[in-house]
Structure 1
Amino acid sequence: MLLRIDPESSAALYDQIAGSVRREVAAGRLPAGERLPSARDVAEALDVNLHTVLKAYQQLRDEGLVEMRRGRGAVVSARADALAELRADAAALAARARSLGVSGETLAALVRAAAED
């Protein structure tokens, strides 16, 4: 698993880490049951504070994407399979939006609005 952050980005580091894990799950590279690297290992590899990684893992846990297991650390939950299935739908929707001349920002706003309904 390759986690990436952009120190120049205005997004918080923990949001970038959580987003990176989400992308790996959606792409199917992190299936349900897969153990995430320890927070300490991620912090070392990315040269960030341990608490930053823990906050990202907590965010993923709160979303139900990751389960925290005593003795095993962070494990990708069964919800990961659903996210991977939705990736194909999202790709088709994005392609349809492009063909209609709808920007990515506008499409994202439509999806957010639909999710709130």
Structure 2
Amino acid sequence: MLVEVDHSSRVALAEQIAASVRRALAEGKLRKGERLPSARALAQALEVNMHTVLRGYQILREEKLIDLRPGRGAVVSAATANRAVAVEACRYFVRLARESGFSDAEILGMVEETME
């Protein structure tokens, strides 16, 4: 299945859905213009609430990885897998840094130093 979730994970289900789609983009399993499953169908398959799927899709929309089109559903908009990989790496870095005890200000400082 394209999207998988672990109901016992501490990671929010919506984020797991978004991460699954990012991985599929990074691995070339999804390409620009392809449609994702409808929120209703995916919710039934994953045994989650439809609004959870919609939240996951909204995360991907905010990251500019998909477009949400009335009547057409969720469509992949990312031109390359690099964007999906960068977003996933950034999310992983922030999660790891927070788990290691860094404050948000310290995390931002590390990123700014890296960009110089």
2:34 counterpart letter in structure 1: E
CA distance in 1, matches of 2:84, 2:43: 30
Three-state SS of the structure 1 residue aligned to 2:58 is helix
Question: Structure 1's 55 and 10: CA in aligned 2 closer, same or farther, altered over 3 A?
Answer: same
Amino acid of the residue matched to residue 80 of structure 2? D
Structure 2 contact 28–81 (Cα < 8 Å) conserved = no
**Secondary structure at the residue paired with 1:75?**
strand
Q: Displacement of 1:73 after TM fit?
A: 0.5
* Aligned CA distance change for structure 1 residues 84 and 28 (closer, same or farther; 3 Å): farther
Q: Number of residue pairs matched? A: 97
CA distance in 2, matches of 1:86, 1:9: 22
Name the CA distance, whole Å, in 2 between partners of 1:76 and 1:32: 5
For 1:85 and 1:51, how far apart are their aligned partners in 2? 23
Instruction: Give the TM-score taking structure 1 as reference length.
Output: 0.71
After TM superposition, give the deviation of residue 114 of structure 1 in Å: 3.9
Name the aligned partner's letter for residue 38 of structure 1. S
Rounded Cα–Cα distance in structure 1 between residues aligned with 2:83 and 2:62: 18
8 Å CA contact 1:5, 1:16 repeated in 2: yes
- Percent identical pairs in the alignment equals 53
Does 1:48 pair with 2:27? no
CA contact (8 A) 1:26 1:80 kept: no
1:83 counterpart residue number:
82
Matched with 1:22 is 22
Kindly indicate whether the alpha-carbon contact (under 8 Å) linking 2:36 and 2:75 is maintained by their aligned counterparts in 1: yes
Give the gaps of 5 or more residues in structure 1. 91-103
Q: Distance in 2 between matches of 1:58 and 1:86?
A: 18
SS of match in other structure, 2:45: helix
Counterpart residue number, 1:5: 5
State the TM-score, normalizing by the size of structure 2.
Answer: 0.71
